[in-house]
Amino acid sequence: MSDTRCAHCGGPLDAHGRGISNRGRPPKFCSVRCKEAARVARRQAGRTNRTCRHCGGPIDLTRTGKAITCSRECGIAYQNAVRAEAKRATKLANRKPCEACGASIPEALRAGTKYCSKRCKNHVAAELWRQRAPTYMRQYLYDITGEQFEALLASQGGGCAICGTTDWPGKGNAPHVDHDPAKGRTAVRGILCGNCNNGLGNFKDDPTRLRAAAAYLERTWVTS
């Protein structure tokens, strides 16, 4: 009887000294089961200290040698993160310069951003507001659309309803919507320049006081 022992379990080979040979070499294992168990043990020995690429936790030895995550859930999350990063890298590679100043946009900002800084974003927002503010505020305050405003101004010959100027002196150097304060802001009377609009306000929109002021001027008018 042979003294050769199984390389896996340490037990003797069969009573005739035979075992599971490997390509003509002397047998090392007493059975197919021991041979397979040794193969599994070798594979598991190479899987120690493996960590999950998603959560950083240890990968169980029973998982295949190609496993890079500790579970199916971590595997899905890891692949999603890889695809998201690849998509972000593509967007960064094709990123256009800042729409406000033309400078390069820092990589730290999200891939879809259009501006290199908050300052540039606020600058563009302020410019857009300046473009739409007159129309927006007129409609908000006086319930008059841009088309209605232009039609009313055209009916006045394009100038102030009182003095006729088209230079629009006064605050903002822009036309002012005049309304009847007794009936509310939506009771629009006409379009005035800033000076005439302030004049009506200073006289409390009182026709009697305005006529008295006109009579005073006529009485005290000094010709040169």
Rg of the chain, C-alpha, whole Å: 44
Q: What is the dihedral of CA 120, 125, 129, 131, to 10 degrees?
A: 60
- The whole-number pLDDT of residue 17 equals 46
| Per-domain residue ranges of the chain | 1-45, 148-220
For the chain, the first-to-last Cα distance in angstroms comes to 149
57-80 confidence digits (pLDDT tens): 988 877 777 888 999 999 999 999
DSSP annotation of 91: H
74-86 confidence digits (pLDDT tens): 999 999 999 999 9
Contact of 177 with 138, CB cutoff 8 Å: yes
125-135 confidence digits (pLDDT tens): 888 877 777 67
Query: How far is Cα 87 from Cα 104, in angstroms, rounded to an integer?
Result: 19
94-116 confidence digits (pLDDT tens): 888 888 898 888 878 877 788 99
14 falls in which pLDDT band (50, 70, 90)?
low
Q: Which tokens is 224 given?
A: 């040169």
- The whole-number pLDDT of residue 129 equals 79
Beta strands in the chain (DSSP E): 20-22, 25-29, 176-179, 188-192
Closest-CA residue to 80 (of 91, 69, 92) = 69
Homologous superfamily (CATH) of 148-220 is His-Me finger endonucleases (3.40.1800.10)
Query: How far is Cα 74 from Cα 81, in angstroms, rounded to an integer?
Result: 10
Query: How far is Cα 193 from Cα 206, in angstroms, rounded to an integer?
Result: 18
Compute the C-alpha angle 218/182/155, nearest 5°: 65
- In this prediction, residues 198-210 reach a mean pLDDT of 93
42, pLDDT greater than 60 = yes
141-187 confidence digits (pLDDT tens): 899 988 999 999 999 999 999 999 999 988 778 899 999 988 988 89
- The whole-number pLDDT of residue 2 equals 44
Query: How far is Cα 141 from Cα 184, in angstroms, rounded to an integer?
Result: 10
